[in-house]
Structure 1
Amino acid sequence: MNNMITYAETMMDSFAVRPFNSVDSLILSWVSYMRFPESMSEIRSWRGMGIRELLCAEYFSEMFADLWNPEGNRQLLFALAASPRFRGITVCGYVEQLDREREKQFSATTFRIGPELSYVAFRGTDDTIVGWKEDFNMAFQCPVPSQEAAVGYLSEAALHTQGTLLTGGHSKGGNLSVYAAAKCAPEIRERIRKIYSHDGPGFQETVLSSEAFQHTLPKVEKTIPQSSLVGMLLENQEDYLVVRSSSVSLWQHDPFSWMVEDGQFCMLSGLTPGAKMRDAALNEWIRNLSEEERERFVDALFEVIAVNGIDTISEFSSGWKKNIPAAFQKVSQLDAETREFVFCALRNLASLRMKNFPELFKVPRSQEPKKSPEPET
């Protein structure tokens, strides 16, 4: 299977020969997930450091902490450092912010591809409970703190770069890139040639109908895998391209599963029928809840998840033997009204799923109860 690692290892053309494309965007978006230690001070400045200088084995455990596929990340970084296409890129302006009180998880990195071309990448949701909570908050809140931070970061990056700007991200990072491009100053927006959203969730209707968003829309290129869930959440007005994934279901959100051939993504004609029905059911359920009900549901959900003082999803998963019973205990401690509301919301989601997936709930003919024979007359 060829993926973005294969592309980085084999693509020898410079950006002058083969212009920047969506596979390049996914690669740099993924690099923005890496956690760069304080000792790499140059990367936090706008002077920056070459992408080859990121090859510091003593920092790998920190750089790849809690990322999908640590070995794949290491292989990708080595490929970028060796590649004539990528090794001349300067990485700069790295910021990382985590604010539990404000429920904010934000990080961004700028890549100077050439003197007149830069790519601004926004990190998607990381492994922190705070990051996941902020994602869910998008269902009832706009802007969330990271969206506001993205506008400020893009504005600052524009001050420290020249010429054309590209921006993008994977997952929540794709949402942030679209929002930042729509809300930045007009003179910055004019410099933006393209906005890449890789399986990024959508927006509330109020954002989609704004003049700034409509002005930005023609520059957005959205790519999603064939069974996308995250990228189809909330309302979507962006056209999207469907990428073939080597994985299944929710695991297709993993960009290492996105297939690449002849220097571009392998495209499909559309989402799978099952994904269309599932996404329709979930979004209908969200629309049927008021903003106050969405907030109440999300707050209750994360009150249950954040048991035993855990800070990351990995902690919850690795300690499942104690965390799952503790979560059930937490549910029982919710006040009766909140508990009933949560169960009612989940029942409504289940009923919508039955409506959209009737074939899953049919009894196979072989298992249908046999009818008694009609009495002979």
Structure 2
Amino acid sequence: MANINEYLDWRGDVPFSLDPFNDVDNLILSELAYTDFEGIVPPPGSGESISLREAYAAFYQRHTRAEIEAETTFYHMAPFVMDHLIASRRFQNLRLANYVNVIDEAKDAQFSAITFLLGREVPIALDCGAGDAAHARIQLPGDERETAYVAYRGTDDSIVGWKEDMNLSYQLRTPGQQSAVHYLDALFRGQCLRLMVGGHSKGGNFAVYASAFCASEVRRQICRIYTNDGPGFLPEITESTAYQQIQPKIVSTIPENSLIGILLTSDIDHHVVQATGMGIMQHDPLSWQVYGNHFVEAEKRTATSLAAERGMRTWLEELSIDQRILFIETLFDAFQSGGAHTFTELFEDKARLIADMLRVAASLPKEEQQELRRMLGEFARIGARVLITGAKSGFKR
């Protein structure tokens, strides 16, 4: 079996005219969105784009391979996808546009997006996710319109990005989600395109949210929405008319040991795929297994993933909105009190991190300290149950 890079090596010579855009192609572009294209890909509003080859050359003028490999984030290998893309006939006409990357600590917002232009006459496979080669496929033929894939980046290494993830547990609309809606509305109103919208992790959440709540004239251009191990939403969102209207266009793909894509509520059936790695490491798109032009279907989700979903849902259901806010604000106040802006910086001094957490907790009123201890205790018990379940099942099966 292979991953997305090997898929490009083996099938990159097959153009979209012979094999329609599929779920694996979607994951490739969602992974590429983690690449730092600042100052390389034109920003929104410029009306300009550059070729993949131009972006590739400019990126390696600014960064070395050793520098990329030395990073410790799970997505640090994303730029290397370009090595395989530029050698492929399938993506030879790919152009990049509308790159934006914003981190706003004051608003607890981390947002990044990019538009990939695939060209005209690009057919799209409407049901080509998990399954074997005989899996039914419905093809949407290409037409004269430009086909574009809007990719929202998932959570990066920033502390504020992870805080926004946590805020999804009580906020109906985060600043990042609002930016995702604005991105679609500002760029694609008055256009005549065939749009696909997607992303990995929080980027998948943004893709679904933006597609649901963008302007109706933009929504009509969207033919497919991809969320790749992206967390869900509060029930108020999934029960809304806007969400229900776009639901048939959503493709949700998660690894068999998903611990992220099963959070909150999505109210859609997931394609469950095989992935290498243990535990949370299956969140890495490069671990997802590919055969031919589709992901390798998993028989079912792992016991660890199911236990984590049950535990987190129970824990959240027992917490009021005020309790969720107390937990999140206290935790991230401690994270940020030492001046760190990324988790890489944060864990460089673990002793200081522990001291900061204890100091912030001690500064709370007695009642809040007791409530925080209770919530942390229950959270720890859930974590222990998940670990025990994983150990009994070999963590993967």
Alpha-carbon offset, residue 134 of structure 1: 0.7
Alpha-carbon offset, residue 355 of structure 1: 7.5
Select the residue among 247, 253, 256 that pairs with 2:286: 256
Distance 1:259 1:92, change over 3 A: same
Matching residue of 1:4: 4
Alpha-carbon offset, residue 160 of structure 1: 7.7
Matching residue of 1:108: 113
Q: What amino acid is the match of 1:24?
A: D
Report which stretch shifted further, 126-135 or 257-266.
257-266
8 Å contact kept, 1:304–1:330: yes
Q: What amino acid is the match of 2:178?
A: E
User: 1:20 aligns to what SS in structure 2?
Assistant: coil
8 Å contact kept, 1:3–1:256: yes
Matching residue of 2:232: 202
- 1:71-220 residue pairs with structure 2 within 5 A? 72-115=77-120, 116-159=146-189, 162-220=192-250
Distance 1:19 1:67, change over 3 A: farther
Select the residue among 58, 64, 74 that pairs with 1:68: 74
Q: What amino acid is the match of 1:284?
A: T
Distance 1:146 1:69, change over 3 A: closer
8 Å contact kept, 2:153–2:203: yes
Report which stretch shifted further, 230-239 or 53-62.
53-62
Q: What amino acid is the match of 1:4?
A: I
8 Å contact kept, 2:35–2:79: no
Distance 1:313 1:359, change over 3 A: closer
Superposed CA RMSD: 2.4
Matching residue of 2:369: 339
Matching residue of 1:283: 313
Matching residue of 2:19: 18
Matching residue of 2:31: 30
User: 2:220 aligns to what SS in structure 1?
Assistant: helix
Alpha-carbon offset, residue 260 of structure 1: 1.1
Q: How many percent of aligned residue pairs carry the same amino acid?
A: 34
Distance 1:85 1:41, change over 3 A: closer
* 1:65-93 Cα distance to aligned partner (Å, 9 max, x none): 664364x3343111111211113111001
Alpha-carbon offset, residue 178 of structure 1: 0.3
Q: What amino acid is the match of 1:10?
A: W
* 1:328-349 Cα distance to aligned partner (Å, 9 max, x none): 3433343322221111112233
- Using the size of structure 2 for normalisation, the TM-score is 0.84
* 1:143-169 Cα distance to aligned partner (Å, 9 max, x none): 000111111111233248543110000
**Largest Rg, 1 or 2:** 1
Distance 1:351 1:235, change over 3 A: same
Matching residue of 2:143: none
Distance in 2, matches of 1:90 and 1:250, equals 32
8 Å contact kept, 2:15–2:89: yes
* 1:3-50 Cα distance to aligned partner (Å, 9 max, x none): 111112222111121111111111111111111232x26355332101
Matching residue of 2:62: 59
Matching residue of 2:137: none
Distance in 2, matches of 1:158 and 1:177, equals 14
Matching residue of 1:271: 301
User: 1:235 aligns to what SS in structure 2?
Assistant: coil
Distance 1:152 1:91, change over 3 A: same
Aligned residues: 360
8 Å contact kept, 1:170–1:197: yes
Is 1:348–2:353 an aligned residue pair?
no
Is 1:327–2:357 an aligned residue pair?
yes
Distance in 2, matches of 1:84 and 1:161, equals 28
Report which stretch shifted further, 248-257 or 331-340.
331-340
Distance in 2, matches of 1:61 and 1:213, equals 43
Q: Structure 1 regions of 5+ residues with no counterpart?
A: 363-377
Q: Structure 2 regions of 5+ residues with no counterpart?
A: 121-145, 393-397
